[in-house]
């Protein structure tokens, strides 16, 4: 393996026995690359929450470090306090703390309104027990009132007690560099780890990017669209684009890389092997 900086991998909780089996194979394929940790997403609003903790416990039982994502939207202080105590009792030491997004039509926002409230609450309840990761948006959060406002909220979130951040995915290294420089200028020196999304499918990625506010550059969009159903060309081009992005990020001083695997090993490993 050629990569010289730490890496981590993100999963979502599988919903079926087949999905569990597939994830086990993925964990086995990725663990040979000695990730710093695996993380598992959490469904704000309830749908996959038990699956998150089950998946984290399973990965830890295999001997690897694993972090649950935990969101506060729609939840109560009591409920989150109970989750934190359970995670602590199990020996979990790392959490990805988020506001989350409630599925449309789901009622109130809960007692903790933003990720900074959740970070403060985790510190209040459990002191320094957890290493807390938070989300960062080099291309800005889609609901941000302005770049300056979003940056201010990010700094607040770090100052509330987060240890490090993982970014939303992006394909423009300049956005990452500019964001990190702005955070450093505000006096925050914590690691900001780029979130890396391998490119394996055009229409899904385009749709998802529109929703989460990540820019799929025009030239990448047009090239991907031009391949139509030619999956081999999409994969080869996507791997090329993302491995060049990773090389630039490493040159810019990225402290590590966090891969959004979508529970598949191959697309992330193809990028890592190409570095
Ligand atoms: P916040 O940091 O609270 O920011 C949300 C918005 O509110 C921003 O526009 C910000 O500028 C603004 N804001 C922040 N603080 C304040 C404040 N005090 N006052 C007023 N405005 C404020 N979603 C899931 O449901 N489950 C997951 O497992 C999950 N994992 C993720 C992992 C990563 C690495 C990333 C980058 C995102 C993840 N998400 C996940 C998506 C995330 O939940 C959404 O992007 C959500 O909309 C924002 O969450 P946040 O923690 O960034 O929110």
Give per-residue pLDDT as tens, 174-188: 999 999 999 999 999
Number of DSSP helices (H) and strands (E) in the chain, helices first: 10, 8
Domain count, the chain: 1
Would residue 2 count as lying in a domain? no
215 is annotated as an active-site residue? no
Any idea what the CATH number is for the domain that residue 270 is in?
3.20.20.220
Would residue 140 count as lying in a domain? yes
Would residue 241 count as lying in a domain? yes
What is the spatial distance between Cα 45 and Cα 126, in angstroms, rounded to a whole number? 24
Question: Has residue 29 got a pLDDT over 80?
Answer: yes
Would residue 90 count as lying in a domain? yes
> Is 0.95 exceeded by the ipTM?
yes
| Atom 51 in ligand 1: residue holding the nearest Cα | 98
- pLDDT one-digit tens code per residue, 10-19: 999 999 999 9
Q: How far is the CA of 120 from the centre of ligand 1 (A)?
A: 15
Would residue 169 count as lying in a domain? yes
Q: How far is the CA of 234 from the centre of ligand 1 (A)?
A: 30
Q: Which domain holds residue 235?
A: 7-274
Taking alpha carbons only, the member of 181, 140, 145, 183 closest to residue 164 is 183
| Atom 24 in ligand 1: residue holding the nearest Cα | 100
What is the spatial distance between Cα 212 and Cα 24, in angstroms, rounded to a whole number? 28
Would residue 264 count as lying in a domain? yes
Taking alpha carbons only, the member of 218, 202, 199 closest to residue 260 is 199
- pLDDT one-digit tens code per residue, 225-243: 999 999 999 999 999 999 9
Would residue 1 count as lying in a domain? no
């Amino acid at each position: 393996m050629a990569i010289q900086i730490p890496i981590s991998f993100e999963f979502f909780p599988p919903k079926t026995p087949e999905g569990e089996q597939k994830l086990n194979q993925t964990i086995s394929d990725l663990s040979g690359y000695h990730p710093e940790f695996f993380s598992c997403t959490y469904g704000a609003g309830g749908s996959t929450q038990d699956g998150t903790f089950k998946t984290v416990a399973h990965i830890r039982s295999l001997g690897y470090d694993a972090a649950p994502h935990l969101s506060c939207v729609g939840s109560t202080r009591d409920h989150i306090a109970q989750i934190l105590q359970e995670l602590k009792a199990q020996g979990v030491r790392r959490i990805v703390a988020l506001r989350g997004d409630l599925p449309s039509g789901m009622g109130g926002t809960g007692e903790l309104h933003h990720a900074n409230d959740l970070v403060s609450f985790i510190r209040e309840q459990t002191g320094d027990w957890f290493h807390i990761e938070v989300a960062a948006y080099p291309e800005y959060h889609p609901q941000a009132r302005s770049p300056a406002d979003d940056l201010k909220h990010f700094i607040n979130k770090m100052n509330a007690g987060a240890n490090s951040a993982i970014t939303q995915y992006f394909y423009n290294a300049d956005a990452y560099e500019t964001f990190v420089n702005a955070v450093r200028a505000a006096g925050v020196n914590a690691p900001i780890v780029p979130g890396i999304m391998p490119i394996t499918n055009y229409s899904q990625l385009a749709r998802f990017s529109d929703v989460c506010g990540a820019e799929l550059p025009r030239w990448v969009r047009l090239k991907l669209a031009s391949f139509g159903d030619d999956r081999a060309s999409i994969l080869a081009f996507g791997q090329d684009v993302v491995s060049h992005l990773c090389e630039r990020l490493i040159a810019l001083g990225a402290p590590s890389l966090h891969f959004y695997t979508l529970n598949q090993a191959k697309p992330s490993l193809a990028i890592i092997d190409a570095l």
